[in-house]
């Protein structure tokens, strides 16, 4: 894996922790008791007394905070390994060796994750409305049945029930016009997942898909807005 360079200046959100252990604020010089944690961290999470201390420490913390490190794939587990309930507890870094090769990616997911098959479940979009060049693609093994837990994050972002673990990568419309950043951080993915808590997934996703389609067909953006369903015969 290539060296992971933290980027971005936005501080991740802060969460209140319910653990009974006494912790001290990680901001150098502040020794106050800390019951808040950096929401992007992997366990053991970094503790702070306040959002202010977290912000002031972020320049240093982002060097080690896993939430800011970029990889080309993330797994969203239906069940968090550590029993956590937050979105962040379900998202694991992954690294696809075959990234960029459509068929090899699927083979790799199947063999490494033991999936019966690897199919595209759908796509969702960045929380940033200015990003129109790429989307997140969700792959899953298309399992059904009540015994397989619902993947809450994927279900929310795709607007349809998805069961089991999924893999997420970045992709772009097939017109090849865009050079997209292949690697992304857990913090970016969390921001998108958060966005879908307050926005209607089917609405955002179908409007984006229509706009991408307009781009490919050379139509003005928005030309197909409101069209209930389109099917392109290839
Ligand atoms: Zn962190
Ligand atoms: Zn502090």
Residue 158, judged by CB atoms within 10 A of its CB (0-12, 13-18, 19+), counts as buried
Which residues place a Cβ less than 5 A from the ion ligand 2? 25, 27, 30, 32, 49, 53
Instruction: Give pLDDT, residue 22.
Output: 80
The model's pLDDT over 78-131, given as tens digits with 9 standing for 90+, comes to 999 777 788 988 999 999 999 888 899 999 999 999 999 999 999 999 988 888
Q: Say if residues 10 and 38 touch (Cβ distance below 8 Å).
A: no
Tokens of 185: 């951080």
For the residues of 106-139, what is the DSSP string, one character each?
Answer: HHHHHHHHT-S--EEEEEE--S-TT--S-EEEEE
17 CA distance to ligand 2 centroid (A)? 15
Instruction: Give pLDDT, residue 193.
Output: 95
Domain ranges of the chain: 14-67, 70-217
Q: Which ligand sits closest to the CA of 34?
A: 2
The model's pLDDT over 29-75, given as tens digits with 9 standing for 90+, comes to 999 999 999 888 877 789 999 999 999 999 889 888 888 889 999 99
- Has this prediction a pTM greater than 0.85? no
Q: Would strands 166-171 and 73-76 be described as parallel, antiparallel, or unpaired?
A: antiparallel
């Amino acid at each position: 894996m290539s060296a992971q360079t933290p980027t971005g200046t936005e501080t991740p959100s802060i969460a209140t922790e319910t653990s009974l252990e006494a912790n001290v604020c990680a901001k150098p010089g502040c020794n106050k008791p800390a019951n808040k944690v950096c929401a992007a961290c992997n366990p053991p999470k970094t503790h702070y007394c306040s959002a202010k201390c977290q912000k002031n420490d972020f320049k240093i913390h982002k060097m080690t905070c896993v939430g800011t490190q970029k990889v080309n794939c993330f797994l969203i587990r239906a069940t968090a390994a550590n029993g956590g309930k937050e979105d962040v507890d379900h998202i694991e870094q992954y690294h696809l060796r075959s990234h960029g090769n459509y068929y090899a990616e699927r083979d790799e997911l199947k063999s490494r994750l033991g999936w019966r098959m690897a199919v595209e479940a759908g796509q969702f979009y960045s929380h940033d409305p200015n990003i129109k060049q790429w989307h997140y693609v969700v792959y899953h093994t298309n399992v059904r049945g009540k015994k397989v837990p619902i993947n809450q994050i994927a279900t929310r972002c795709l607007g349809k029930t998805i069961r089991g673990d999924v893999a997420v990568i970045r992709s772009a419309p097939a017109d090849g016009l865009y050079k997209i950043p292949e690697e992304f951080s857990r913090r970016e993915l969390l921001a998108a997942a958060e966005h879908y808590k307050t926005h209607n997934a089917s609405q955002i996703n179908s409007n984006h898909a229509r706009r991408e389609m307009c781009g490919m067909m050379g139509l003005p953006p928005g030309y197909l807005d409101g069209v209930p369903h389109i099917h392109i015969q290839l």
